[in-house]
Structure 1
């Protein structure tokens, strides 16, 4: 599934680069969908979940950015000094926030927890 995910992601980004709007927009669904499934499947492992959620938000931001260029609102000023494209920063920063939380809070907690032997 992860290899198929990479294939869809590459087709989406190549479509963006080549300005193939229908294919690029179509590829958002399986690319984001598989990323969500992967995140769901790794929900029991905090490290994997954090990284996979960051990827989900990365793809969402990337897909929004692509859409903003395809539909021509990437340069539209939303508020002073902020364009439609800049709004992609919201999911990018959410993904970054998830990783920062994992590395600055969760991982140090895990390192402090005593390991319990299982039989």
Structure 2
């Protein structure tokens, strides 16, 4: 499933790069859906959960950014100097916080815990 997820992700980004809106938009659904399934399946392993959750946030941010470009609102002002494209930082930062939590808080408190799939 993880390998298929990458295929969908690549097709989504190819659609974005070539400005093929239908391909890019349609590929959001399987890419994000499989990412969420992977998060759910790895929920018992904190390392995998945090990394896969960060990937899900990354796909969300990436998809929003693509949509904002397709709709030509990416450069429009949202608030002050913040454009609609900048709103993609919200899920990007959520992904960073997931990884920061894992490496700065969870892992140091569980040094002897071995996680295997």
TM-score in same-fold range (> 0.5): yes
Aligned residue for 1:37, secondary structure, equals helix
| RMSD between superposed Cα atoms in Å | 1.2
What do the CA deviations read for 1:90-119 (whole angstroms, capped 9, x no partner)?
000000001001100000011167x8xxxx
- C-alpha separation in 2, matches of 1:25 and 1:112: 43
Structure number with bigger Rg: 1
- C-alpha separation in 1, matches of 2:96 and 2:14: 24
Q: Which residue of the partner structure matches residue 74 of structure 1? A: 74
The number of residues matched between the two structures is: 114
- C-alpha separation in 2, matches of 1:98 and 1:3: 22
Residue 16 (str. 1) matches residue 1 (str. 2): no
- C-alpha separation in 2, matches of 1:100 and 1:2: 23
Q: Give the TM-score, by structure 1 length.
A: 0.93
Question: Moved runs in structure 1, 4+ residues, more than 6 A?
Answer: none
Q: How does 1:29-40 map to 2 (within 5 A)?
A: 29-40=29-40
Aligned residue for 2:78, secondary structure, equals strand
Deviation for aligned residue 1:81 = 1.1
The gaps in structure 1 that reach 5 residues or longer are none
Q: Which residue of the partner structure matches residue 97 of structure 1? A: 97
